[in-house]
Structure 1
Amino acid sequence: MQPRRPEGFDGLGYRGSSYGAGRGDDYQHGFPARSFSSSGDLSQHWVTTPPDIPGSRNLHWGEKTPVYGGDNNPPPAGVGEESSSGGTGEQLNRFAGFGIGLASLFTENVLAHPCIVLRRQCQINYHARNYHLSPFSIVRLMYSFTKTQGPRALWKGMGSTFIVQGITLGTEGIISEFTPLPRDLTHKWSPKHIGGHLLLKGLVYVIQTPFYSASLIETVQSEIIHDNPGILDCLKEGIGRIIGLGVPHSKRLLPLLAITFPTVLHGILHYIISSVVQKCVLFIIKRKKPTQSSIDGVNTIQNTLDDYFPELIANFAASLCADVILYPLETVMHRLHIQGTRTIIDNTDLGHEVLPINTQYEGMRDCINTINRQEGVLGFYKGFGAVVVQYTLHVAVLQITKLIYTCLSQKTT
C-alpha cells in the first residue's frame, strides 16, 4: 500500500510551488514541486492545514489572518489586562494554598513532636504517680527536660516517625497497584468496596508494626543513656524484629503477632473515626456557609482561605476526636510494644533521672486488667495533657496563618 502523501510534501510547513521553486525543481528525491491551486489537484491529493493559521479557525484560500492593531481590526478591549490579572490571581492562589498547607504540615509533624514524645513516655511509665492530665503539668515537664537534657530531648525520634510514614504510604501504594483493593473510596461505594479498602489499610498496618515498634523505642528512650541513632536504625531494627535478630531483648518480649492485633485494631478504628468525623464536619460547614461562585472583584487570597480552611478544620476535628476516643487503646498498645525491649525512659514525675521498663503483661487483655487494677481508670489517660497542648498549638498556628492571609487579602483589595 502506497502512503497517502503528496509529492514534494515537506511536513506541515508545506508552502506550494514557491517553496519548491526556491529550492529548485529537483528537491530531495527528484520530485517536482506541485502547486495545489486547482480544484482537481485538491480532490486528488491529501492537503494539510493552510499555513496561515495563527489566530484563525475558518480561513479559506486567499484569506489572511487578521492582525490586531490595524485600522480595521483593533485589539479586543481588556485582553492584556485580563491575562495579566488572571496570572497574578493564579500566582496568589498557589502561594496562599502552599502557605496554608505548609503551616498545617509543619504543625502536625514538627511542632507537635515534643507533645508526642511526652505523651508516649507518660503512657508507658507504669511507675508514675503524676498522670499529667493537665496541660500545665505537661508544660512544666517540658521545661524540666529542656533544662536537664537540652531542647534536643523533645525532638528525639522525629526522623524515625517520618520513615514510618514513608513506609506506610509506599506500602499502601504498592499493594493497591498490584491488587484489586481500592486505595480511595468514591461516592459510589458499596459494602464490598469498603471492605476491600479496610482490608488494604489492615495489611498496611500489619507491615508497619515492626517499624512502628522501633520508632516508638527511639521516641521514648532517654537521651541520658541513649546514643545518637542513625537514620536507618529504624529500618534495621524493624527488619531485625521480623527475623528475630538485631538488638538483644529480654525474655518478656512479646511475639510480633501479639502486638500486631492491637496495632491493626487501633489503626483501623482511628481511620474510621477520623473519616466519619471529617465528612460530618465538612457537611456542617458547607451547609452553614454555602459555596459562593467566584466573581470579579472578589479577592483571590480570600477565596483560597474559604476553599482550604474548611478542609483543615475538618482534618483537625477528625484527628482530635480519634485521638481522644482511642487514647486508652493507644496506651495499651504502646505498653505492649515496649515490653521486653530493655528501654529506659525519663522519670516523668521528677523531670530528671531515668527509669527502666519491666512490665510482664501476657497480652492485650492482661494489660487492660492490670492497668485498671493497679492504676485505675485514669491510668489509661496518663499524659493526656500533652494532647491538649498539641491541639492547642495546632489551633494557634491555623489562626495565625489565617490572620496573616486575611491581612494580605485586605492589602491587595
Structure 2
Amino acid sequence: MQPRRPDRFEGLDYRGTSWGRGEEDAQNYQHGFPSRSFGSSGDLSQHWVTTPPDIPGSRNLHWGEKSPQYGADSHPAPPVLVEESNGSAEQLNRFAGFGIGLASLFTENVLAHPCIVLRRQCQVNYHARNYQLSPFSIINIMYSFTKKQGPRALWKGMGSTFIVQGITLGAEGIISEVTHLPRELNHKWNPKQIGGHVLLKGLVYVIVTPFYSSSLIETVQSEIIHDNPGILDCLKEGIGRVLGLGVPHSKRLLPLLVLTFPTVLHGVLHYIVSSTVHKCILFLMKKKNRPRAPTDVSNTVQNKVEDYFPELIANFASSLCADVLLYPLETVLHRLHVQGTRTIIDNTDLGYEVVPINTQYEGMKDCINAINREEGGLGFYKGFGAVVVQYTLHAVVLQITKTIYSTLVQNSG
C-alpha cells in the first residue's frame, strides 16, 4: 500500500499545498515563486485556520462564553452596564427585603410589647371598673405608668417572651424529628397531614404551658414591688412549676393539668384562625395583582418591594383576626394562669398604686361564668384598647417603611 503523502514532503512546500496541488506548487517553488500566500488563499482559511476549542477557563473565557469565530467582529460591545444594573438591582432587592422584614419583626416583638403588658394587666385585673376599651384611655394609662415607674415598666418581661418563642420553635423541631409529624403543610395536603400537623402544635403547647405561665407573671407583675428578674428566671420558674419546687404559691394555685387544656385550646385555635386568614388573603392578593414585566432597575426593585408586602399584610391581618376573635378566651386563660401565684399588678384604673390577685376560680367553666356574672359580657374584653393601639402602630410602621423604600428606589433609579 502506497503512503498517502505528496512526492516532496518539505516544510515550506507542504505548508501551502493541498493534496490536489502538490506538483503545481512544487514547480512554483523550483522557479523561485512562493507556493501560496497565507493571506490570499481562500482554501487557507478553510483548511488550516480553524477556531480553537472552547475550553472554559482558557483565554480569559468565563463559563458559558464562546470564543469569537474567524472573520467575526472582534470588538463586541461588552455588557458592563447591564451587569452593573443587575447587580445594583439585586442588592437593592436584598436590602429591601431585609429592611422590611426587620421592621415588621421589630414592631411585633419590641415596639408592641407595652401594649401586650397593658393588655394582660387589664385582663387579669378583676377589680377594675374601667375596662379600658378605648385606645385613648390605654395611651393615658401608659403615660401614667411611665411617669410614675419609668419606661422600664412598659417593657418588663420582654426577655421571657423571647424565651417562650425559642422553646416553642425548639420543641416543634424536636417533636417533628422524633415523631415525623409534619411541621409544614405542602400544597398536596390531605386530612391525615392536617391532623398530624395540628397534633404537633398541640404537643408543643403542652410543653410550653409552664414557661408561658412564668412569662405571663413577669409581664403583669408590678415594678414597684418586684425585683428585676434574671434572664433565665423564666426557665427556672417553669421547671420549678413542673417539679413543684421554687417560689411558694397559695392553695388557690391551679395544677398544670387544669391549665393545659385551655392553653392548648387557645394556641391551636389561634393557629388555625391565623393560618386560614393568611392563606385566604394571600390567594386574593395574588389573584388581584398580576405580575408585570419590569423595564428598568427602578421598576424591578419597586416590584420586588411590592412583592414583600402581601406576605406582611397577610401576617398582619391574620394575627389581628385571631387576637380579636379569641380575646375572650385569652382573658379566661390569663386569669387561670395568674391565680394563686401571689402576683401583685398595677392599678389600671388610676395609673398608680398596686392591687393583689385573689381570685378563686375552680376551672375554665367556673371562670367564664364568674366573669359573665360579675363583670358582664364586656368583662371578657378588658384592655381591648391595647389591641387597637398595637395594630394601629404596626400598620403605621409598615406604611412608613414602604414609603421610605419607594422613595429610595425612585432616587436610585
Shorter-chain-normalised TM-score: which range?
Answer: 0.7 to 0.9
Equivalent AA in structure 2 for residue 327 of structure 1: Y
Q: Are positions 1:157 and 2:157 aligned together? A: yes
Structure 1 residue 78, shift from structure 2 partner? 4.2
Written as runs of structure 1 = structure 2, the 5 A alignment for 1:10-409 is 52=58, 55=61, 66=67, 74=74, 76-296=76-296, 298-409=298-409
Question: 1:321-362: CA deviations, max 9, x gaps?
Answer: 000000000000000000000000000011000011010000
Residue 66 of structure 1: CA displacement? 3.7
Q: Is the 8 A contact 1:66 1:73 kept in 2?
A: no
Residue 330 of structure 1 aligns with an amino acid whose one-letter code is E
Structure 1 residues 52 and 389: alpha-carbon distance in aligned structure 2, compared to 1, 3 A threshold: closer
Q: C-alpha root-mean-square deviation of aligned residues, in Å?
A: 2.1
CA offset at residue 57 of structure 1? 8.3
The structural deviation recorded for 1:58 is 11
Aligned to 2:47: none
SS in 2 for 1:290: coil
What residue in structure 2 maps to residue 28 of structure 1?
A: none
CA distance in 2, matches of 1:297, 1:57: 25
The DSSP-based 3-state class of the residue aligned with 1:345 is strand
Mark the CA change 1:51 to 1:191 in structure 2 (over 3 Å): closer, same or farther. Answer: closer
Q: How many residues align?
A: 359
Query: Between Structure 1 and Structure 2, whose CA radius of gyration is higher?
Result: 2
Q: Is the CA contact (8 Å cut-off) linking 1:92 and 1:300 kept in structure 2? A: no
Give the secondary structure class of the aligned counterpart of 1:359.
Answer: coil
In the alignment, residue 185 of structure 2 is paired with which amino acid? L
Tell me the CA shift for residue 74 of structure 1: 3.2
Amino acid at match of 2:217: I
Distance apart, 1:281 and its partner CA? 1.0
Query: Is 1:347–1:353's contact at 8 Å kept on the other side of the alignment?
Result: yes
Question: What's the offset of the Cα at 1:55?
Answer: 3.0
Where 1:142 maps in the other structure, the secondary structure is: helix
Give the Cα separation in 2 of the matches to 1:390 and 1:56: 53
Deviations 1:355-411 (A, max 9, x none): 110100000000000000000000000000000000000011001001101111221
CA distance change for structure 1 residues 359 and 75 in 2, over 3 Å: closer, same or farther? farther
Q: TM-score, normalised by structure 2?
A: 0.83
| 1:290 Cα offset (Å) | 1.5
Cα distance in 1 for partners of 2:324, 2:173 equals: 29
For 1:251, give the aligned amino acid.
K
Residues 371 and 77 of structure 1, relative CA distance in 2, 3 Å threshold? same
Please state how far the C-alpha of 1:50 moved relative to its aligned partner. Answer: 9.8
Structure 1 segments unaligned to the other structure (5+ residues): 1-48, 60-64
* 2:411 corresponding residue in structure 1: 411
Change (3 A) 1:198 1:358: same
Structure 1 CA distance, aligned partners of 2:56 and 2:101? Answer: 48
Alignment deviations for residues 58-77 of structure 1 (CA, whole Å, 9 cap, x no partner): 99xxxxx8489x99663543
Distance 1:328 1:201 in 2: 21
- Which amino acid counterpart does residue 165 of structure 2 have in structure 1? Q
Amino acid at match of 1:379: G
Q: Would the aligned equivalents of 2:302 and 2:406 in 1 still touch at CA under 8 Å?
A: yes
- Matched residue type, 1:374: E
| Aligned-partner Cα distance in 2 for 1:370–1:134 | 24
TM-score, length of structure 1 as denominator length: 0.83
Q: Go from structure 1 to structure 2 and tell me whether the alpha carbon gap of 1:57 and 1:218 turns closer, same or farther (over 3 Å shift).
A: closer
Identity across the alignment (%): 75
| Residues 141 and 351 in structure 2, CA contact (< 8 A), matched pair in contact too | yes
User: Is contact 1:135-1:389 (8 Å) kept?
Assistant: yes
Letter of the aligned partner of 2:348 in structure 1? T
**Structure 1 consecutive aligned stretches of length 4 or more whose deviation exceeds 6 Å:** 56-59
